[in-house]
Amino acid sequence: MSLLVVGSMAFDSIKSPFGAVERVVGGSATYFSLAASYLTPVRLVSVVGKDFPREVIDMLASRSIDTKGLKIAGGETFRWKGYYEYDLNTAHTVKTELNVFRDFAPVLPKEYRNSPYVFLGNIDPRLQMDILSQVRGPRLVALDTMNYWIENSPAPLREAIGKVDIVIFNESEIREISGEYNLVKAARTVRGWGPSRIVIKRGEYGVLHLSDGTMFAAPGYPLETIFDPTGAGDSFAGGFMGYLASRGTADPTDMDYRLATMYGSAIASYTVEAFSTERLQNLSTEDIAERVDAFRALTEFRV
Ligand code: AMP
């Protein structure tokens, strides 16, 4: 079933201990759409400048990604510059240039308004709420954010969180927004604002999924080659929501959520093996199934 995503599309400049790249394609909606497109049809809402490569838009459109909601505006594409040290779990932002996002006032194409699954990707929380208000009766809504919005737009972000079912954070983000170091307590605090489920990304250490009365922990896959963690979070979210949308139910079971977590983890584990979307855009469904199986083998034990 269709999965609507709003988020950034970007040019990234990234340095990690393993190399550096300038002005490569990135953005939360880019990674998310590609990851989810292996599992379900995606409806993309974003904005790029005229400087964004046409081939990339064509590549997205050649998959099950509807790009009718992608606006090409006068001005420059969103840019993010960041670096990682040996702790690849923490991205350090050097510069964020909103550019065409500054005046973006999206109007959803008519056929997007009945989207049953919605992902409010990392972008201005006012924009996330604007999009959500244009969707009629979605079944499941998830939201992602980052420290930039936690620090610059705390009130709108709190309001947006209050309108969704699931929030996906990384460890430092949920600690910052909740003011709680302990992750179980932090998740309880955020659940008190409205969402019934919290997913906490812990970089190479995996994912923790908390709801009322249940917890699920998935490890990170122990990879031999990691080049660039950028996009891992959005690829995770794409696999996670893509799996739930492919199931098509309004009320996923606990096992649906567990499997969604494993699909997200499997796809994200490929993203970090290369810079930008290089590895993510060249996966096969067999690669994904193989990694899900490898996760099963990694954690299976009997008593
Ligand atoms: P992640 O999956 O969390 O590593 O997110 C990576 C993507 O987030 C990068 O490709 C960036 O272009 C994008 N990004 C960085 N800062 C922001 C921001 N403040 N708002 C929206 N997107 C951002």
Supply the CATH number for residue 167's domain.
3.40.1190.20
Number of domains in the chain: 1
Residue 63 resides in a domain: yes
Nearest CA, atom 3, ligand 1: 233
11 pocket-lining for ligand 1 (C-beta < 6 Å): no
**Which residues lie across from 48 on neighbouring strands?**
72
Nearest CA, atom 1, ligand 1: 231
For the chain, 303 residues long, give each residue's pLDDT as a single digit of tens.
999 999 999 999 999 998 999 999 999 999 999 999 999 999 999 999 999 999 999 999 999 999 999 999 999 999 999 999 998 888 999 999 999 999 999 999 999 999 999 999 999 999 999 999 999 999 999 999 999 999 999 999 999 999 999 999 999 999 999 999 999 999 999 999 999 999 999 999 999 999 998 999 999 999 998 889 999 999 999 999 999 999 998 889 999 999 999 999 999 999 999 999 999 999 999 999 999 999 999 999 999
Q: 10 Å Cβ neighbour count for 18?
A: 12
Residue 243 resides in a domain: yes
- The whole-angstrom distance between residue 132's C-alpha and the CA centroid of its chain comes to 16
- Does residue 55 contact residue 43 with C-beta atoms inside 8 Å? no
Q: What is the DSSP letter of 203?
A: G
Residue 25 resides in a domain: yes
Residue 46 resides in a domain: yes
Residue 130 resides in a domain: yes
Q: How far is CA 133 from each of CA 136, 160, 290, rounded to the nearest angstrom? A: 8, 11, 39
146 pocket-lining for ligand 1 (C-beta < 6 Å): yes
Residue 125 resides in a domain: yes
Strand ranges in the chain using DSSP code E only, listed in sequence order: 3-6, 10-16, 19-26, 42-49, 65-73, 78-83, 92-97, 117-120, 140-144, 166-170, 197-201, 207-210, 215-218
- The whole-angstrom distance between residue 277's C-alpha and the CA centroid of its chain comes to 13
* Lookup result for tokens 């065409």: 100
Given ligand 1 and candidates 104, 145, 146, 172, which is best to mutate, with the most ligand atoms within 8 Å of its CB? 146
Q: How far is CA 144 from each of CA 40, 166, 170, 223, rounded to the nearest angstrom? A: 19, 9, 9, 25
Residue 303 resides in a domain: no
* Distance from C-alpha of 75 to C-alpha of 15, rounded to nearest angstrom: 26
Given ligand 1 and candidates 9, 15, 28, which is best to mutate, with the most ligand atoms within 8 Å of its CB? 28
* Distance from C-alpha of 170 to C-alpha of 176, rounded to nearest angstrom: 10
Task: Please choose, from the candidates 276, 205, 2, the residue with its C-alpha nearest in 3D space to the C-alpha of residue 116.
Answer: 2
Nearest ligand 1 atom to the CA of 30 is 10
**How far, in Å, is the centroid of ligand 1 from the Cα of 57?**
18
Q: pLDDT tens for residues 29-63?
A: 999 999 999 999 999 999 999 999 999 999 999 99
pTM above 0.95, yes or no: yes
Position 64 scores a pLDDT of: 94
Instruction: State which residues form the domain around 123.
Output: 3-298
Residue 293 resides in a domain: yes
